[in-house]
Amino acid sequence: MDRKEMAMLGFEIVAYAGDARSKLMDALKSAQAGDFDKAEDLIDQANEYILKAHKAQTDLLVKEASNDDLEFSITLVHGQDHLMTTVLLKDLMQHLLEMYRRTEK
């Protein structure tokens, strides 16, 4: 895998992670407004994007495990960073959603 392919993989991960992050932030706004069904739907949509990003990441890990010569790409590192923070946001979102549910009662 050359540097260009590695950068494209990084952009793919950034895009999927960014889409997931947007859905999660929209879910937070929905929860703040008391629309928990919409918030849950948006979290489900975010999970789909996260799965796509993980697939791209897993493809890369398989190539590395097969001893493919992989070029370093700061774009890929950037993508990994976006994915990691988005997964953290997703984990926190469940707790925030529950907090808003409790304050609604």
73 is in which domain, residue-wise? Answer: 3-104
- Distance between CA atoms of residues 18 and 21, nearest Å: 5
pTM as predicted: 0.89
Q: Which residues are catalytic?
A: 78
Q: Which of 10, 80, 92 is nearest to 43 (CA)?
A: 92
Structure tokens at 25: 């932030």
DSSP secondary structure letters along 10-34: HHHHHHHHHHHHHHHHHHHHHHHTT
CATH number reported for the structural domain that contains residue 71 in this entry: 1.20.58.80
In the chain, how many domains are there?
1
Q: What angle do CA 17, 86, 28 make, to 5 degrees?
A: 110
The tens-digit pLDDT sequence of the chain (105 residues) is 788 888 889 999 999 999 999 999 999 999 999 999 999 999 999 999 999 999 999 988 888 888 878 887 888 899 999 999 999 999 999 899 999 999 887
